[in-house]
Structure 1
Amino acid sequence: MVHAFDLVHRKPNGRLDYQYITIAANKIIFCFHSFSEKENTVEYQQEGDNCDLVCFQFDTKSKLENSNFVSVFCDDLGEILLQQTFAIYHFSIIPEENYICPDSISSQILSTIMTSLRLKSVKVGIAFLRPAIFGFEQVMNLLSHINPKSLRRLILKFSADSCVQEDIENVFSLERWSAFKNLHFDVNLHTVSEKELLFIKKILTTSRIFKCIRIHYEQLDNEKINGILGLPCREHFDGSYRYTRVPNSKNPVLHTCENILMAYWKPNKEDYKSLPTTDEDLMLFGVC
């Protein structure tokens, strides 16, 4: 019988740079590999009262009687995270398309991750994190056990049919993110208001915590978008580009393409000089 942690422990260093977890109905798919190794995939399938464990690397299938597939997976994941001594480049845990992960499963997986990370002597390093099955406050608790200097990109998704949309000012509160720097933040919301888009713009132009914020705002009309982010300057295959000067600063430019807002902190003199002076009412540029 082969478990996921058995595959890891057979490697000389137990290093896993990539860990992809997909949650589906009665099934969890766990793919993992290092930079130099081929991908391994283990499936945990619920069949009646038993859990079928499928290892694609060795083309084996084992039956664990009177076992729950989530519990078996959590045992593997907890052991792997506990033994992981190297930083993780990519860690994602997402539901299968059109599948809504029950709270009972997501909370059990989160508890497993948190328990393993608490037992480690140092905070784990993760560069790319996509914890799509957890709520915002759960993600914030998870981040408290991750080295903030290592995290470069975070992807969150709040469901469009959720009764309560997350408050933008709460999500992007600078006090929450003060330990991070140059973070690429992808947030999938149902929509964003004109006021909220102005708030995001202000954060990007006054703080170095976030380098890029990718957010949906399709329900705003072009006139409002133009008023907030400026007129389109260039057309590209993926949409219209807009540039806005960051006032009271040395050449930074806020670059927008469709629903992606990026603050260019490196000098961009050519674009900066060509743009009109705007937004002088924004607070002074500062490094947080």
Structure 2
Amino acid sequence: MSPQEIPAFTDAAVADAARRGRAMYDLGSTPIFASRSDPRFGYCLYVPPDIAEAETAPELIVAMHGTGRSFVEYRNAFAEFGRWNRCVILAPLFPIGVQGDGNRDGFKYMAEGDIRYDRVLLDMVAEVGAKYGWRFDRFALFGYSGGGHFAHRFLMLHPDRLWAVSIGAPGSVTLLDPTRDWWVGTRDVEARFGVAVDPAAMAKVAVQMVVGSADIETWEITHREGGRHWMPGANDAGRTRPERLASLCHSFEAAGISVRFDLVAGMAHDGLRAVETVKGFFADTLAAMRQAERQ
């Protein structure tokens, strides 16, 4: 092709390429992006394709993975809900071994070395909001298994940032117990994280806890002396996930925090199956929240 035959890049052609690129990579189910604030961590999104035409800004739902890091699967599981309920879905990725030690569990306990995973997530939320021109001052958070660890501890540190939280089958729980240190209790939270646990603020957040009645294997969740996260009282909340989540529920309720507790009959440890129950909770919460806003 001679230079004379090469098509000119007109303003219209450039604009068309930008529109196509946005439709392919920034709307619908997106590729995986590195976080600008810390490229060790990444995320993918579902953004309803017609969201720019909406009269009001969308809501944000964060779907936190568990130990298996199935973050794309969780994004996909919530995509249809996001499309029909005008919600953006953000699925973070916190890889295993970011400190070079193979640790699978760092994000679950909110801090690992110099990393504060709650702040990493908040940076991602701010980044997504800036990219699309929205403000996500409050969002919903779902986490199952390892993500359930993260979800209830994030609620304790940042209740002001959430309109709902779904806590799914965490292997270990932090009770609202001011007589024990973190992670079993909350006595030293302010010294560790620079914020005080505020049950009154937590009570303003819609809270769901969900676990399967058949989720009774204990091999992965029993803490043993000498383990990375062993501390006295590590197994006191119960033997199985349903028992431990029930203890967390009682801890919340004793502090004045209402909880919707969903024990899914016959379900073992299956986060993707639990998503259907979580969608119902988020749909109910969204409907009530939007009705209140209209009034």
TM (norm. structure 2) is: 0.30
Bigger fraction of residues in strand: 1
Bigger fraction of residues in helix: 2
| Higher RCO structure, 1 or 2 (CA under 8 Å, sep 6+) | 2
TM (norm. structure 1) is: 0.31
